[in-house]
Amino acid sequence: MKPIHIQRARVHNLKNIDISIPKNKVTVATGVSGSGKSSLMFDIVFEEGRREYLQSIGMFDGLEEERKFDRISGIGPTVAVQQSIVRQSNPRSTVGTRTHIWNLLSLLYSSEGQLICSECDALIERGVICHKCGNEEERLEIGFFSYNHANGMCMTCSGRGAYYHVNMEKLVPNERTTVREIFHSIEVTPGIGRVVERNLKSYMDMPYSQLPEEVKDEVINGHYTNNSANQSFCLSRILQIRHNKGEYLQGLYELIECPECDGYRVGEKARRVLIHGKQIGEVGKMTLVEVKAFFESTLQQRRFSQSGTNLIEDVMSKTSSLTKARLGHLSLYREMSSLSGGEIQRLFLHAHLESKMESLIYILDEPTVGLHESEKAELLKSIRALKEIGNTVIVVEHDKSTIEMADHIIDIGPKAGVEGGEVVYEGSYAGLLQCEHSLTG
């Protein structure tokens, strides 16, 4: 099969190098930090594969930046996950939504969940008619079980299960504390102070405890004008800005569990539908290991329709394979933005192995980061499995066991920065150990 061939690669510190990367192999690009291996694999191979694919389907405008190489051939559609992508994840994306397990659970609860009677609070064991009072309930549509759907989310926390709260007990130590003293205590800038004074006018020197309720709300939450999406300067906005900058706020601005839904994210209607005694939000707080055990027990205790049984078996299969990938400690509600680089790449590998797509070029950025030696084996199996189903896998990595399992090794160096950017070695692991010029070897 024709390899990926690049002539005169010269982005960043790469020194007009020529390189061939074999297809349908696992290639590890290694070298000291700053040697140029990421520049080669991400800035050239990934970006060019992505650009050519998007251009072929009419989604690229054709404008080109400064040329990073003279010629490239053998390239195909590329898929990459870099460590920086972890911080760019949608804040509403969780392990449950990313793995599609939440979709399966929503279907299951919608079609097979046991309802709690809205009239007498009795559990309706079968069907939708309460045996105790005769009340007939309606089954909820799937959207009612989604915390990202308007029908399903808890409206108090907008489906997040928690929200940031201004701690007024700390800001108002006694009944004499004035509005001006509150804003002075959080050290607002003179400019913001003038805006606040203009908005609150005659209330600035009044004790906060004596303010009308609507003015207290204005002090804490501000307001939105009709022609602007911006919140006026208030305690929550000012403290949020400082929190986002990473400032330590000494408990003045705290993340608290939503008191309306108890952190379960979904609305009251969804919380009144049970499977094996648990509503869907309780399952969301479970780890993947606990979810698998819960549904194993559920299948033993209750009969389901064939479609319900199939949904449960799909959930158990997904949680089992994710546990094998050393992700069993994650809960379904764990936000993607909070995962480590290694965790997000293992989730990524799991998703692509399940899709069974082939003829792609995968580029991974140090997927073993944060793993104990004993945990790497399953990850490396997944990487090789991507190759076995017909893909090319390129791993940018320092890890010895990853380098050792590679079909092909490219060592960039010999050192970092201006002393790097050259191909020190290409070939097998055994050859790398014999290469006198390779620091990696």
Dist. CA 20–CA 3, nearest whole Å: 6
| Count of alpha carbons within 13 angstroms of residue 107, beta-carbon side | 14
* Helix 341-355 and helix 376-388, axial crossing angle in degrees, nearest 10: 30
The alpha carbons of the chain give a radius of gyration, in whole angstroms, of 28
**The two structure tokens encoding residue 12:** 């960043």
pLDDT at residue 64, rounded to an integer: 58
Domains of the chain: residue spans and CATH: 4-88+339-434 (3.40.50.300), 95-158+263-324 (1.20.1580.10), 162-257 (1.10.8)
Mean pLDDT, rounded, for 133-144: 95
C-beta separation of 78 from 363 below 8 A = yes
At 367 the pLDDT is 85
Number of CB atoms found within 10 A of residue 418's CB: 9
Q: Are 414 and 438 in contact (CB under 8 A)?
A: yes
- The tens digit of pLDDT for each residue in 416-437 reads 999 999 999 999 999 999 999 9
Q: How would residue 201 be classed by pLDDT, with cut points 50, 70 and 90?
A: confident
pTM for the structure as a whole = 0.76
Three-state DSSP state, 7: strand
Residue 228's pLDDT is: 53
Residue with tokens 């201006």: 418
Mean pLDDT of 153-179: 94
DSSP 49-107: HHHHHHHHTT-------S-S-SEEES---EEEE-GGGGGGS-TT-BHHHHTTHHHHHHH
- CB neighbours of 130 closer than 8 A, spacing ≥ 6? 117, 119, 120, 122, 124, 136, 137
- Flag the least confident range among 222-231, 242-251, 290-299, 323-332: 222-231
- Specify the DSSP element, H or E, that contains 171: helix 168-171
- Please, which residues have CB within 8 angstroms of residue 368's CB and are 6 or more apart in sequence? 342, 376, 379, 397, 399, 401, 402
Q: What is the pLDDT of residue 337?
A: 83
| Arithmetic mean of pLDDT over the chain | 91
pLDDT given for residue 212 in this prediction: 94
The structure tokens 């991507």 sit at 386
Q: Which of 409, 364, 373 is nearest to 31 (CA)?
A: 409
- For residue range 317-370, list pLDDT tens digits in order: 999 989 988 899 999 999 988 887 778 878 888 888 888 889 999 999 988 887
The secondary structure of 141-161 as a DSSP string is PGGGG-TTSTTTB-TTTTTSS
Residues in Cβ contact with 236 at an 8 Å cutoff, skipping those fewer than 6 apart: 164, 166, 220, 221, 222, 253
Region 392-413: mean pLDDT is 96
Q: In what order do the strands lie in the sheet with 278-279?
A: 114-115, 273-275, 278-279
What is the spatial order of strands in the sheet that 71-73 belongs to?
A: 17-21, 4-9, 71-73
Amino acid 86: pLDDT = 47
> Which of 101, 97, 95, 131 minimizes the C-alpha distance to 114?
131
Q: What is the mean pLDDT of residues 221-234?
A: 74
Closest C-alpha to 420, from 429, 431, 412:
412
Residues across the chain: 441
Q: How many CB atoms lie within 10 A of CB 86?
A: 18
| Residue, of 326 and 136, whose pLDDT is higher | 136
Long-range contacts of residues 415-418, Cβ cutoff 8 Å, at least 24 apart: 415/32, 415/35, 415/439, 416/32, 416/33, 416/34, 416/35, 417/13, 417/34, 418/13
User: How large is the angle between the packed helices 306-324 and 101-112, nearest 10 degrees?
Assistant: 150
| Other beta carbons within 10 Å of 258 | 19
Percentage with pLDDT > 90 across the chain: 73
- pLDDT higher for 299 or 125? 299
